[in-house]
Structure 1
Amino acid sequence: MTRQYRQHILTRAIFASLLATTVVMPAVAQTVQEERKPADARDASTLDAVIVTVERREQDLQKYAGTAQAISADDARALGINNELRNIQALVPGMSMANQEGNLEIFIRGVGSSNNTELGDPGAAPHINGAYIPRPRGLGGMFYDIERVEINKGPQGTLRGRNALAGTLNIITARPDLDAFGGYVQVEAGNRDHRGGEFALNFPLGGWAALRVAGYKVEKDSPFENAGRAQELDPAGIQDDRGARVSFLYQPDEKLSVFAMADMGKEGGTGYPGANVYTAARAGYMPDDVDLRKVIYRGAQGALDSTNWGAQASVSYDFGPVVLEYNTSYRDVDFRQTNAQSEGILWPGRNIEPLSDSNPGGIDYDNYSTQYWMTKSQSQVHELRLSSHDDTRLRWTTGLFHFDEDQEVGYFSLADKGRWYSGTEFTMPEVNGRSSAVFADGTFDVNDRLRVKGGLRYTKEEKSRYGIGGNWALGLPGTPADDAPEGWPGEFATRLGTPGFAPAFMYRPNFDVTGLTSPAEMARFLLQGILSHGRNDTILEQIGGVANGGDFGCVDRVDIGGEYLNCPYQDWVQVNGIPAQQFGRSKFNFTDWRVGFEYDLSADNLLYGLVSSGHKAGGFNDTFDPEEIPETFKPESIIAYELGSKNSFGLFDRTSTFNVSAFYYDYRDQVFQDLAVIATNPSTGEATGFALVNRNVGKSAVYGVEAESVLRLPYSFILNLNALWLDSEIKQGTVADVRSQNWGVGGATSLIDLSGNELPLASKLTFNMRLQHSMELPFGTLDWQVLASYRSAFYLTQYNNRDVEFIRKDQDTGAVIHDRTEDAASAGFPDRQRGETMLNAGIGLTTLDGRWRFEAWGNNLLDNDVSQKALVGSGINVRFLNDPRSYGLRVRYQF
């Protein structure tokens, strides 16, 4: 599509925004007449104001000059969006949320981040009560006893600041009530053996203070099925979660306000599930053709143990001319997971019988290759704000912000029965990130109708890391037996990770690998990475003697190749590799800004325009040469242009709304994964090893028009409509195609030009329709609502189903050359998710006294499987799915 045509589309979108305002203007006269009605008639026909804090001060959402949504706790609960925060995306056009290994990834209008390492940062910033959350692990465990969830779209560089490139998600918890004792108790049950409960108690303390205590617990079976023969393994996805929260509010007068909160969440079960579709695709079965929830599990049992707790406080004092506010928060994350491993999903004709000589195409269930994760994070945020009152002509706020995070991170991907490669370890005892900023933002009333606004924020970011990272490699060559099959590998395998195994991670006695080159030093370092050995592990027998200055121990067992290999080892046996020293540091500073206007066409019609910028923190990459400085990547940036209108009008003697906006994002310094050379042949200079790195090689453009309407219809019906048309295009970005990575040539890949592709997770069209109704009965109030949410097809990766060019090494020259080209599906990498419609519904009955409420709810009633994220690499195409059909009953007692 040409630039001229795109500009034409944007021009038409802006014109449509202005036209929408003109169309509703005839309704202004009707609204004026409505204002002249008696007060009781007017109250019956107006919409309740939705108060939000998206601009860091309370305001009516309909008066907010921007695109935001507020979802109440009641609406979310009624539609079955409980204990699953990511399901809230069904109510928010343009939002995509996925959970990978406990890390909640949020994309808004195609912008976000999928870098879940210790050096990654969210692209859409999550908050709780306005406090920034740097590691969004366990975020769903905060989704109880809430007031609402606010989603603000577009960069929020001057308002929320840190990493709010795509927008923000803010969970607002229920605050203590100063006036009345009360609370609720709730129990619920549903399919997949869902059992849960929630409560809250509110204690007023003399009219000037109050305390609120809340908690929840939920248990639920997995949405996945173990389709293999190892039925002793529970599938990933079993939930066992609980949490508690204490809030305190102190307001002795109108000047002073003190709010404090402490919360703790605990997640257990079998870990977060994924489904590898690679082998099914290679066999000719596309993800849409098979059941992605039937997984062939083997090896280690998936397990999750995560604790997330925090405390926050906000103190404000009104000095008269200005209000001084101090906000602080502390969060502690301790996340540990053992991944449930599988041989992919089941497809028709798949051989799932155990591997044996008579069944060479079967599954090796005695394979404990898996990944171990450990993330410990302690973060604190401090913010000092000074602001004016809302009744002044110039409303302003200014302040200081500081963020500090310390992490300890461990990741171990082990290869049980590996030959020459036994795993990859990244253990980082010291990871630190800091950010400091100074900001100011204001709105000035030019006259009664026109307001101008502007903001500025200067930020300094710094990151550092120390630890180890790289491969474990052993070469244990034996003597091939006379009856060894042709092509049988000549090395014994190493057993690693069998039951009882645990990585050492932070219990390592040493993280300094400088100068460790002798076989004894290298063997000792590998063994120090194991806290406990598995019952069938062989590594201690194989290299334990070497670590003590002795010889390799030759273990001749059938399960490691002993049926076709014989001892002793050949003389070139070796410890071939240990993790390298990892260090790094990066510093960046940048300035965000915004300018805009608001114009009241009438009391009920607002026209606004805004230009704003946002950044996401940069960082650095891994290094495999202690003499090299790690390669850094700059912060990503967006400049966003938005023009919109918000309108209230009379319809059937009731007040309804229609809002529309058009936007354009200029997305620069976009980070894509590329390859870096990490090893060369010292005699020839030829590259012999590669590693993935993050680089600023991308530039994209995002256009769109978003509209929303709330229509109050006769007979107490309310219809909510939301629609988004989105067009995204990668303008430039040539990177390594990791789908083609060939380990036979050192991990090299072909290159792919991403220009012209769409951004991942960016559907062209999303549309939500929610119909609500309530009626008074002799014994109470009956209400129900139905939500239909359509999302058109989208790509899960930046590759957009493009063909894969595979490479190989020329046997005569040794040069890396083209081998073959395969379409993405045949190569195992289909990455297009077809369009789907999701249907949620809920019905509830509240008794006349308002104390009892009975609800039935259903989520994803059409039971559509939707891939919300894909993890793609050599031989890997893992899908992370939505929640399947769920339904249940709930009883709530309010007192």
Structure 2
Amino acid sequence: MKAHKSALHPIAAAVSLACLAVSVPAVANDDAEQAKSGIEVIEITATKRVTNLMDTPVAVSAFTQEAMDRQGIKNVKDIANLVPNLAISMEGSQQAPVISMRGVRSTNVTELGDPSVGIHLDGVYSPRTQGALSLMFDNERVEVLRGPQGTLFGRNSTVGSINIITNKPDFAGVEGNINLELGRWDAKELHGMINIPISDTFAIRAAGKVHERDSYMDVYYDPNQYDQRYLSDEVINAAPIDPADAITNTQKNNWWIDWAGGGDQIRELTKADESDSYGNIDEFAYRLSSLWEPNNDLAVNLTYQYYKNKGAGQKETANCEKMKGRPTYDDNGEVNGVSDCTTFSPHNNNYTAIVNVPGKLIVDMHMLRGNINYDINKDLAFVYNFGWENQRRELAQDIENSYDVWDGAMFFLPGTASRSYFHEMQLQSQATSPFSWIVGANLFHEKTTTRGYYDNSINDKTFWLQPDRSSDSYALFAQGTYDITDRLHLTLGYRYSDEEKEDKGGNNMTCSNDNGCAVGWWARDLLNELPANYYEDESLYEPGTDNSNKGSWDNHDYRIGLDYDLSDNTMIYGSIATGFKAGGIGDVFDWTDDLTGEYHRIATKFDPEEVTTYEIGAKSKLLDNKLHLQATYFFQDYDNMQYSSVGTVGYRNQQQPVYDDDGMPVFDDEGNPVLEWREQPVVAYYTQNVPSSEIQGIELEFQWEAWENGKISGYATWTDTEIVDDWHTKWDYDPRYLFGIGYDESVDPENEALKTNLKGNELAMTPKYTLNLNIDHYFDLGEYGAIIPWLNFHWEDEAYLTVWNVDKHTDDMDFAIADEDIHYSDDKRDSYLLINANLRYNAPEEIWYAEAFIQNATDESVQHWSNADQGYNQGTYNTPRYYGIRVGYNFY
């Protein structure tokens, strides 16, 4: 383990927290008495056997469905604020949650990437994070484990795991509920369940939800953009405007409108329908589950779930808060004014999009899961978990958002799919001896198929045809806990993992001006006569690089842990654990230089991630079970973190149009464009490895029944991250605009002026301090029911949204942008405070309830994803102020 400049500080703090936890007087109660009064005892399966949350020597947070409903949790991305050191962003182009925990995340959300936080549904691994968006209804609980879960959960759980445990059928009797939410932007959500025991040994349960909501974004269709094929005649023929009234970049700067006959051709924008534009919600899901228990030794649970999303998807937009006050300069470099988003947008807010491609997101997902538990005898149990997933996806996404006149759009077509299966068998000891253990093996397979294309309407297009990309892995694992004494327990765990990834017959095909497939920038009318789906025909494209590629990796993980019961109510623990995420393969790129004839071929691959985590902690039930404290200190030595982005893998000479001093194309006497040889980048989406990083922090969770019928709960964290080894890499944070250099220079991989060393940078989405506080009170009205107000404060310190830490590198390279202007386009997010509240009425015996709620009461706009381009800090943001009512009815 490498030395760290501030390692002593958090250790001392953690020890102090632990001492505080164990020094408060506590009365020893058995679990039965504690369950009658004080804080509810929550049972979890973080160690793949049922244990009490407060008796489990792992950093874990657990939430019941009722608790999540109170806080407005709709899907997995909404749980981020409930868990210390957890952040979940929505990446715009792939419409996928990006999960970050303790400073680590995966930015590759394509079929080539894997998350760093594993998601398990009823014990079954789920490979695609999109599938977890539908799961926050009718659950028994959600468990979030922090730190490597390599030995028991394995695949892609290097910094943690999210385990979603759904409600199972029971035999107690018929019961059910129905719940309705109505909110701002015409939001409507209906969900419910019914449980039916068919006999004493067989029961079924059905649950479902429907969620619709209009967009909270201001989305406009722009007929002035080059490609009009996706727009209605009404939009295309919108009223002309005076050039002096032009707002957007395409109203001001496109040459084709001026050529077509003057400024009277400039058209006004048309507001999109809020019910069917970027930012809306239109989804439903249902779950059918059965439970068969023919005797006391055997339980068989089978669950089928279906999810359908047919909304418009999210949209990355400029951060207008950062743009406010941005200086503008004249030709002499002197400040001649200031700008904000109104210089290119109708509104000065983070939620305005100007597009010519309507959004479309279709996710169609089937999931089947099964659990078999069989007690072989009083000392031995057998567990078999299995699952199957089939996800189909379609997408249409406007990319450039009118920030640049060079049109761009991304499409995933029917046939894009992911299919996977998972099997795991375990043998577990029953708790009848000082040594409890579990051994197991699992097998995982995923095959993805991708059909889609990137359409640069003025230039070349790329079609992705990836019929067979697969991942295959298997693992053997064992973990046991030995009671050295009644109070001291030793845990040892081991896992062997083997993984292989392969691309068979993949191809990135091209459609260019050179081969006559693409309609060039000089023939807008010809382009707009084509059908909107014209370039979906893969036969138009020239075969490109054969992406056939393969890689395999194996690894040995371990866990060593000691925990000691200081009393019946207090334990301390420490552990050393490792985690592993396999390496991967990327696209293969080859090209022949048009001028020199030289052939180039690059097969991209990346190395596995490895982490070793040292952790100490304490858990205590105090004040007659009225106060629960969990304190944890961790130190992570993380190697080869995988970072993905769009970059240049090489360059080629091609003939390109010549432009005059005004930026207009030059034509010869016969009306043909004048061309010249120019080096052009070979742009690729690929993954590189970040050298060693060190991450440490303190996490303090608490639940306190501070007064009769009143509770305070939440957490506080301190986290420090740093890249500690040299990482010399090409600058990748919007170099063309941030540096103010020419395009050719910005994409030249040999340009030393764009190389930098990111050693010393902080990792993304990791504020140094966070605080989450919940306050509620139960007003008992006796025979009239109860009123329960709830208030939540969530505060986070400033943080970086990417690994680039732009403001730290103003002296490393020759920036053309003034240092004082870095703020307007950098990747730093200011600290923020969110306030949420609700007021609930429970009828007697909780037969029905009614609730008024408000989320983000102060209407804070918080950026969670950053993708700088065209000189703007772009990204996705939280939902603006949202409010409404909920009502529900329970029947038994």
TM-score by length of 2: 0.81
Residue 756 (structure 2) aligns with: 752
Alignment map for 1:322-333 (pairs within 5 Å):
322-333=380-391
Render the CA deviation track for 1:107-146: whole Å, top value 9, x for unaligned. Answer: 1111111101211001111121121111111422122112
Is 1:858 paired with 2:854? Answer: yes
Contact 2:220 2:355 in 1 (8 A): no
CA distance in 2, matches of 1:495, 1:823: 45
Letter in 2 for 1:637: E
CA shift for structure 1 position 369: 3.3
Letter in 1 for 2:578: S
Residues 891 and 333 of structure 1: CA distance in aligned 2, closer, same or farther (over 3 Å): same
Instruction: Report the 3-state secondary structure (helix = DSSP H, G, I; strand = E; otherwise coil) of the residue aligned with 1:447.
Output: coil
Is 1:632 paired with 2:625? Answer: no
Alignment map for 1:156-305 (pairs within 5 Å):
156-226=149-219, 229-231=268-270, 233-234=272-273, 235-277=277-319, 280=323, 291-305=348-362
CA distance in 2, matches of 1:411, 1:885: 36
CA distance in 1, matches of 2:342, 2:471: 42
Letter in 1 for 2:86: M
Alignment map for 1:691-730 (pairs within 5 Å):
691-730=684-723
Letter in 2 for 1:737: W
Residue 390 (structure 1) aligns with: 431
Residues 291 and 607 of structure 1: CA distance in aligned 2, closer, same or farther (over 3 Å): farther
Letter in 2 for 1:428: Q
Residues 806 and 76 of structure 1: CA distance in aligned 2, closer, same or farther (over 3 Å): same
Residues 782 and 333 of structure 1: CA distance in aligned 2, closer, same or farther (over 3 Å): same
Render the CA deviation track for 1:556-596: whole Å, top value 9, x for unaligned. Answer: xxxxxxxxxxxxxxxxxxxxxx6432221111111111101
Query: Which residue, out of 827, 831, 836, partners 1:831?
Result: 827
CA shift for structure 1 position 655: 2.7
Is 1:887 paired with 2:883? Answer: yes
CA distance in 2, matches of 1:494, 1:828: 38
Contact 1:394 1:443 in 2 (8 A): yes
Query: Which residue, out of 27, 33, 49, partners 1:57?
Result: 49
Is 1:317 paired with 2:356? Answer: no
CA distance in 1, matches of 2:541, 2:470: 25
Residues 685 and 268 of structure 1: CA distance in aligned 2, closer, same or farther (over 3 Å): closer
Render the CA deviation track for 1:393-414: whole Å, top value 9, x for unaligned. Answer: 1111111111100111134221
CA distance in 2, matches of 1:497, 1:615: 50
Alignment map for 1:419-498 (pairs within 5 Å):
421-465=459-503, 466-469=505-508, 471-475=510-514, 492=523
CA shift for structure 1 position 371: 1.1
Is 1:735 paired with 2:729? Answer: yes
Letter in 2 for 1:430: D
Render the CA deviation track for 1:532-570: whole Å, top value 9, x for unaligned. Answer: xxxxxxxxxxxxxxxxxxxxxxxxxxxxxxxxxxxxxxx
Contact 2:175 2:194 in 1 (8 A): yes
Instruction: Report the 3-state secondary structure (helix = DSSP H, G, I; strand = E; otherwise coil) of the residue aligned with 1:6.
Output: coil
Residues 862 and 819 of structure 1: CA distance in aligned 2, closer, same or farther (over 3 Å): closer
Query: Which residue, out of 561, 586, 603, partners 1:596?
Result: 561
Contact 1:300 1:499 in 2 (8 A): no
Query: Which residue, out of 768, 773, 780, partners 2:777?
Result: 773
Residue 231 (structure 2) aligns with: none
**5+ residue gaps, structure 1:** 346-362, 478-488, 510-523, 527-577, 808-816
Residue 243 (structure 2) aligns with: none
Residues 583 and 784 of structure 1: CA distance in aligned 2, closer, same or farther (over 3 Å): same
Render the CA deviation track for 1:131-172: whole Å, top value 9, x for unaligned. Answer: 111111142212211222111111110111010012111222
Contact 1:718 1:772 in 2 (8 A): yes
Residue 512 (structure 1) aligns with: none
Letter in 2 for 1:382: H
Residues 44 and 203 of structure 1: CA distance in aligned 2, closer, same or farther (over 3 Å): closer
Residues 499 and 699 of structure 1: CA distance in aligned 2, closer, same or farther (over 3 Å): farther
Render the CA deviation track for 1:278-318: whole Å, top value 9, x for unaligned. Answer: 99568666799984444242211111221111101111211
Residue 790 (structure 1) aligns with: 795
Letter in 1 for 2:605: T
Residues 494 and 69 of structure 1: CA distance in aligned 2, closer, same or farther (over 3 Å): farther
Alignment map for 1:529-544 (pairs within 5 Å):
none
Instruction: Report the 3-state secondary structure (helix = DSSP H, G, I; strand = E; otherwise coil) of the residue aligned with 1:474.
Output: coil
Query: Which residue, out of 624, 637, 650, partners 1:678?
Result: 650
Residue 840 (structure 1) aligns with: 836
Alignment map for 1:22-61 (pairs within 5 Å):
22-24=22-24, 27-28=25-26, 31-32=27-28, 44-61=36-53
Query: Which residue, out of 801, 814, 833, partners 2:806?
Result: 801
Instruction: Report the 3-state secondary structure (helix = DSSP H, G, I; strand = E; otherwise coil) of the residue aligned with 1:602.
Output: coil
Is 1:97 paired with 2:113? Answer: no
Render the CA deviation track for 1:847-879: whole Å, top value 9, x for unaligned. Answer: 114311112222111211111111235656431
Is 1:763 paired with 2:763? Answer: no
CA distance in 2, matches of 1:497, 1:387: 65
CA distance in 1, matches of 2:40, 2:342: 43
Residues 767 and 222 of structure 1: CA distance in aligned 2, closer, same or farther (over 3 Å): same
CA shift for structure 1 position 893: 1.0
Residue 11 (structure 1) aligns with: 11
CA shift for structure 1 position 714: 2.2
Is 1:656 paired with 2:627? Answer: yes
Residues 341 and 4 of structure 1: CA distance in aligned 2, closer, same or farther (over 3 Å): closer
Is 1:644 paired with 2:621? Answer: no
Is 1:618 paired with 2:675? Answer: no
Letter in 1 for 2:836: N
Contact 2:14 2:631 in 1 (8 A): no
Render the CA deviation track for 1:789-821: whole Å, top value 9, x for unaligned. Answer: 1111111011112377899xxxxxxxxx97845
Letter in 2 for 1:394: F
Letter in 1 for 2:442: F
Residue 232 (structure 2) aligns with: none
Residue 152 (structure 1) aligns with: 145
Instruction: Report the 3-state secondary structure (helix = DSSP H, G, I; strand = E; otherwise coil) of the residue aligned with 1:49.
Output: coil
Decide which moves more: 596-605 or 670-679.
Answer: 670-679
CA distance in 2, matches of 1:819, 1:798: 18
Contact 1:712 1:719 in 2 (8 A): yes
Letter in 2 for 1:639: T
Contact 1:456 1:594 in 2 (8 A): yes
Contact 2:219 2:355 in 1 (8 A): no
**5+ residue gaps, structure 2:** 222-267, 329-337, 592-599, 655-676, 737-741
Decide which moves more: 126-135 or 333-342.
Answer: 333-342
TM-score by length of 1: 0.81
Residues 503 and 98 of structure 1: CA distance in aligned 2, closer, same or farther (over 3 Å): farther
Instruction: Report the 3-state secondary structure (helix = DSSP H, G, I; strand = E; otherwise coil) of the residue aligned with 2:68.
Output: helix
Contact 1:246 1:262 in 2 (8 A): yes
CA shift for structure 1 position 429: 1.1
Render the CA deviation track for 1:373-394: whole Å, top value 9, x for unaligned. Answer: 2541001001111111123211
Residues 468 and 423 of structure 1: CA distance in aligned 2, closer, same or farther (over 3 Å): same
Contact 2:607 2:689 in 1 (8 A): yes
CA shift for structure 1 position 770: 0.7
Residue 594 (structure 2) aligns with: none
CA distance in 2, matches of 1:120, 1:22: 43
Residues 847 and 10 of structure 1: CA distance in aligned 2, closer, same or farther (over 3 Å): closer
CA shift for structure 1 position 661: 1.1
Residues 467 and 654 of structure 1: CA distance in aligned 2, closer, same or farther (over 3 Å): closer
CA distance in 1, matches of 2:383, 2:462: 47
